[in-house]
């Protein structure tokens, strides 16, 4: 026959363990949020006419147009800028996804949802060159 105090001690130990696990997960998510907030990617168009830097939150922080782009037709340059912006945003989002996979595991519901959202927002990733 088990002693009621043994059952109570066992329950307290489980609760302490669950609380500690929750604290560790909260700390990991806090670190992840800080890392994601600091994540960016710089992408250059295939011939180097346009370079764009974007954050994981899709904010564009820099756009550089090289002299070589000045000879392009306006519609071609516009499309090149738009495509390079999208590639930089996707690259930054994928870096954030990799951080989340490392912190939470690739099978985490959050990670799976984030991956689905990235694919829905950006579609196929065009061939791009990531600078940093």
Report the chain's mean pLDDT, rounded to a whole number: 88
pLDDT reading at 29 higher than 90: no
Question: What is the value of pTM for the model shown?
Answer: 0.76
- Whole-number pLDDT of residue 40: 95
Cβ atoms < 10 Å from Cβ of 17: 10
Instruction: Give me the mean pLDDT over the 43-61 stretch.
Output: 95
Question: For the domain bounded by 39-130, which CATH number is listed?
Answer: 3.30.1310.10
Say which DSSP state 124 is in: S
Cβ contact 53:62 at 8 Å: yes
Residue pLDDT, tens place only, 74-107: 999 999 999 999 999 999 999 999 999 998 889 9
């Amino acid at each position: 026959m088990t002693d009621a105090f043994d059952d109570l001690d066992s329950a307290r130990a489980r609760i302490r363990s669950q609380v500690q696990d929750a604290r560790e997960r909260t700390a990991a998510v806090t670190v992840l949020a800080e890392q994601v907030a600091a994540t960016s990617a710089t992408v250059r168009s295939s011939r180097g006419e346009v370079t764009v830097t974007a954050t994981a939150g899709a904010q564009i922080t820099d756009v550089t147009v090289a002299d070589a782009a000045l000879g392009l037709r306006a519609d071609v340059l516009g499309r090149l800028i738009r495509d390079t912006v999208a590639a930089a945003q996707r690259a930054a989002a994928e870096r954030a996804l990799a951080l989340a996979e490392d912190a939470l595991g690739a099978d985490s519901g959050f990670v799976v949802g984030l991956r689905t959202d990235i694919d829905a927002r950006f579609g196929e990733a065009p061939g791009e060159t990531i600078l940093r």
